[in-house]
């Protein structure tokens, strides 16, 4: 096993619990908590755990969950019947459908990934970490009293609420291929949280169907949340060069104007090329460059996971991004170590497979330069209304 040198005076904490990985959404469901096992195996085979403070996370308490979720929703989530066949389960709170099935241990699963994000946020609040990581979190669609899109409890909202105890302004950035609607909605009416989501948007078909460029916050006069929601709607096939340019340009301008004192980055890996549900041509390198850019801002940073439905690519991305957080990315051999568990899943034995290796034929890029320039100039205009 390799040993990574821990950079002096720079602290990264890794929050996880192996119990989370053992849950199953059901046969053929795209969300596979097991992808976390694959990612952890890769991270550890590079020896990266030796350069972080590692914590086995605990269950979020009822009281902590109630910071965002309603009591009746939490009651139902806790007692929802496992035995009932899918088609007989009542669809209360959007639970029990094919997207958000009720499965064994559901409430423990939710409490564990939420506990990890809350712990991670607290490490940032008391300056015990500069970057805190929870790859099992990032479940951005969950609402106050509703499950949505594979998400039941919104760990991101709970973590941001922790950060707001110490931090005047939090910037939330979401690079999952889906719109971060649950987080956006939770902080819709406050100017202490700016939400920025990049996502596939086609006005109708692609889940959750929201996130157009003109969705910028409440338009009621005098509402402090006005202009504090930022949405970057994208088309199929966007590549690394375009994606990273948009990310740096827009995040750079948001940071200049909003002056966040903490950043939460949702690193959904379904924006990668070859994802089972995604539509983009983003590669592990480009995805990681977004993390590196956030790190370079030297603002306390919470990294959470999110989507990601081709497990080998999820593992590659989150391992690479862990190495960026630690600062050992340049030292890693891109060839996946021989002793990596489940190495047979990495048919191309590199952290950075080419588009041809991933896809055979890359997806057609439907994003024109003109459209991307329009997005940047519209958001630049929007940010004229934002002050720190």
**Residues belonging to the active site:** 179
Cα 270 from Cα 17, distance rounded (Å): 22
Could you say whether residue 176 binds Ca ion (CB under 5 A)?
Answer: yes
Minimum CB distance to ligand ZLM, residue 88 (Å): 16
Contact code string over 222-241 relative to ligand ZLM, x by CB under 6 A? --------------------
Contact 50, 4 (CB under 8 A): yes
Produce one character per residue of 274-312: b if its CB has 16 or more CB atoms within 10 Å, e if not.
Answer: bbebbbbbbbbebbbbbbbbbbeeebbbbbbbbbbbbbb
Number of residues interacting with ligand ZLM: please give it, by CB under 6 A: 19
Check: CB of residue 118 under 8 Å from CB of residue 129. no
Part of the chain binding Zn ion (CB under 5 A), chosen from 97-105, 175-183, 281-289, 378-386: 175-183
Shorter beta-carbon distance to Ca ion: residue 125 or 269 = 269
Binding of ligand ZLM at residue 29 (CB under 6 A)? yes
Q: Judged by CB under 5 A, does residue 316 bind Zn ion? A: no
- The residue among 322, 270, 288, 287 whose CA lies nearest residue 132 is 322
Q: Which residue, 122 or 312, has its beta carbon nearer to ligand ZLM?
A: 312
**CB of 147 closer than 8 Å to CB of 93:** yes
Using the minimum distance from each CB to Zn ion, give the nearer residue, 138 or 327: 138
Q: Which helix (H) or strand (E) holds 233?
A: strand 229-234
First vs last C-alpha separation in the chain: 46
Q: Does 307 bind Zn ion (CB under 5 A)?
A: yes
CA–CA distance, 120 with 115 (Å, rounded to integer): 8
Question: Is residue 184 involved in binding Ca ion (CB under 5 A)?
Answer: no
Q: Which is nearer to Zn ion, 96 or 307 (CB)?
A: 307
Among residues 184 and 191, whose Cβ is nearest to Ca ion?
Answer: 184
Residue 142 Cβ, how far from ligand ZLM at the closest point, in Å?
A: 9
Distance CA 281, CA 357 (A): 12
Planar angle of CA 214, 217, 220, nearest 5 degrees: 110
Q: Which of 10, 11, 30, 89 binds ligand ZLM (CB under 6 A)?
A: 30
Q: Does 268 bind Zn ion (CB under 5 A)?
A: yes
Interface ranges with Zn ion (CB under 5 A):
176, 178, 268, 270, 307
User: Binding residues for ligand ZLM, per CB under 6 A?
Assistant: 28-30, 98-99, 139-141, 149-151, 176, 178, 207, 268, 270, 277, 306-307
Residues that bind Ca ion (CB under 5 A): 174, 176, 180, 197, 199
């Amino acid at each position: 096993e390799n040993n990574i040198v821990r950079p002096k005076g720079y602290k990264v904490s890794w929050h996880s619990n192996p119990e989370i990985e053992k849950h199953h959404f059901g046969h053929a469901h795209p969300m596979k908590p097991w992808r976390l096992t694959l990612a952890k195996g890769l991270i550890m085979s590079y020896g990266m755990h030796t350069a972080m403070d590692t914590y086995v996370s605990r269950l979020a308490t009822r009281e902590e969950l109630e910071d965002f979720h309603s009591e009746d929703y939490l009651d139902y989530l806790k007692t929802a019947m496992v035995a009932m066949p899918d088609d007989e389960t009542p669809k209360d709170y959007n639970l029990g459908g094919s997207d958000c099935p009720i499965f064994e241990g559901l409430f423990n699963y939710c409490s564990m990934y939420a506990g990890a994000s809350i712990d991670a946020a607290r490490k940032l609040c008391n300056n015990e970490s500069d970057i805190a990581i929870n790859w099992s979190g990032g479940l951005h669609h969950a609402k106050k009293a509703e499950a949505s899109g594979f998400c039941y409890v919104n760990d991101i909202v709970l973590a941001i609420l922790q950060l707001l105890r110490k931090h005047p302004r939090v910037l939330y950035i979401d690079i999952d291929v889906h719109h971060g609607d649950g987080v956006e909605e939770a902080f819709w009416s406050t100017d202490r949280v700016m939400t920025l989501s990049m996502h596939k948007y086609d006005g109708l078909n692609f889940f959750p169907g929201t996130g157009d460029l003109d969705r910028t916050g409440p338009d009621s006069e005098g509402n402090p949340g006005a202009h504090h929601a930022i949405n970057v709607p994208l088309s199929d096939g966007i590549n690394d060069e375009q994606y990273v340019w948009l990310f740096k340009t827009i995040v750079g301008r948001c940071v200049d104007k909003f002056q966040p004192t903490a950043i939460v980055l949702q690193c959904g890996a379904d924006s990668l090329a070859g994802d089972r549900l995604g539509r983009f041509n983003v590669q592990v390198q480009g995805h990681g460059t977004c993390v590196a850019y956030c790190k370079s801002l030297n603002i306390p940073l919470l990294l959470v996971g999110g989507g990601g439905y081709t497990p080998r690519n999820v593992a590659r991305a989150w391992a690479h991004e862990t190495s960026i957080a630690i600062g050992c990315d340049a030292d890693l051999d891109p060839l996946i170590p021989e002793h990596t568990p489940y190495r047979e899943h990495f048919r191309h034995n590199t952290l950075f497979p080419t588009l041809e290796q991933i896809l055979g034929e890359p997806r057609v890029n439907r994003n024109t330069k003109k459209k991307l320039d329009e997005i940047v100039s519209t958001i630049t205009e929007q940010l004229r209304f934002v002050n720190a």
